[in-house]
Amino acid sequence: MKFTTITRAAFWLFLPLLSFSVAAQNLSDAMKEGLQTMASEQLNADLDVGELEVNSLTNGLTANNVRFATRVKALSEPENQLLLAKQLMLTGDWQALGSSRVDISKIEMSGAQLTVAYYDTGRSNLHEFLKQMSGVKVQKVNSVPLNWRVDEWLMEDVTINLFDKGEPILSVHVDQLKLKDLQSMQDANDQVQELLWPIFEQVSKQVRNGNPNVQVDSMALSRFLLREAMAF
């Protein structure tokens, strides 16, 4: 009788926790499906996520084994693979993903590969992604645009590849790269520059330090930088 009483007490004690766990799992599954649908239908891209976990108590979202690929016809399949990441953690108002404004305080990414592939002047898979992001509509009927802001984007243990018209001109491994204040109100070219210039500065620093993990075609990179600078 005593065992039965304890068992019943334990059941009623842990029932809310079990219910919360099931609800959290349902939310995670719904979020994963919603993001993949958004990528396909509004970003013209493919999003694969091995595992996604939502923590509504900490406003945290964790995704493992992430692959994001654009669908630029002028690029090959490897060049379209904009982002690969072992883990991506997002903190902020992700619960507002269905509203017209989303404020993200921090994105942390580790074990990643970022591939930026240009196929013409001022045109790349990254440009295409940002262009599609600026055109995202929260409500298709009323055409309400999505406004977003990221206060900080921290990348750790990341490899950055840069292609220009099918030719690899840069590959560098960066221990840490931090970007701040990214938002939808910026022009796509401005956003690309904010992302790439810190990378180029990191490359220059590592080349000066004799880092063997930097592979760069200096002449091709110089021509690329001059062309892009003259165009804008």
Least confident of 122-126, 132-136, 218-222: 132-136
Residues paired with 158 in a beta bridge: 112, 174
pLDDT above 50: residue 84: yes
pLDDT above 60: residue 231: yes
Dist. CA 183–CA 44, nearest whole Å: 20
Give me the mean pLDDT over the 73-77 stretch. Answer: 96
List the domain boundaries for the chain.
Answer: 2-231
pLDDT above 80: residue 7: no
Q: Give the pLDDT score at 117.
A: 96
* Cβ-count burial 51-69 (b if 16+ within 10 Å, e if not): ebbbeeeeebbbbeebebb
Which of the four pLDDT bands, split at 50, 70 and 90, describes residue 25?
Answer: low
pLDDT above 60: residue 190: yes
Which of the four pLDDT bands, split at 50, 70 and 90, describes residue 96?
Answer: low
Give me the mean pLDDT over the 171-196 stretch. Answer: 78
